Amino acid sequence: MQNFTDPRGIRNNNPGNIRLSKVVWQGQAATAAQTDPDFIVFTAPVYGLRALMKTLLTYHLKYGLDTVRSVINRWAPPVENDTGSYMQDVARRIGVKVDDQIDLCAQKTLVALSQAIVCHENGRPPQGRVAHWYDPSVYAAAAALVLPLKAASVSPQKEDA
């Protein structure tokens, strides 16, 4: 049952708040179930996290983005966000400086960065909810779906069904 007090990203199983586009993501809800006019609705949180992680991994492998500053500047551009505040929050949450080099091919780093983005996008989970909105096993499952792709060319524009 859906909790309508949860943030939009959590309700949509899209905790990274990925916008609707022509890309059809694995686990994306059928067109009839796309109840949000702006953001993708996924069938389960693991697919929303997978899409977030795949996008971050693409930034890293295809574009060479390897700092919190470079990743967040692309993920949350200043035309839509307070990017400076966003990158400071994310860097603090993962325990690095905004210009420290990070390796997104390392599961621990990819998961930590994803958790920080999820918390920034959706706020702090209410008391009684698990930290980072989802159990660590959900983040690990999403990372397991994405990290085998690191050797291949990853691109959300060529999403696999």
What is the structure's pLDDT at 148?
A: 82
How confident is the prediction along the chain (161 residues), in pLDDT tens digits per residue? Answer: 457 789 999 999 999 999 999 999 999 999 999 999 999 999 999 999 999 999 999 999 999 999 999 999 999 999 989 999 999 999 999 999 999 999 999 999 999 999 999 999 999 999 999 999 999 999 999 999 999 865 554 455 444 53
Cα 84 off chain centre by? 18
Specify the pTM: 0.91
Q: Which of 76, 75, 71 is nearest to 103 (CA)?
A: 71
- The pair phi, psi for residue 82, each rounded to 5°, is -85, 80
Beta-carbon count within 10 A of 83 CB: 17
Which helix H or strand E contains 10, and what residues bound it?
helix 8-11
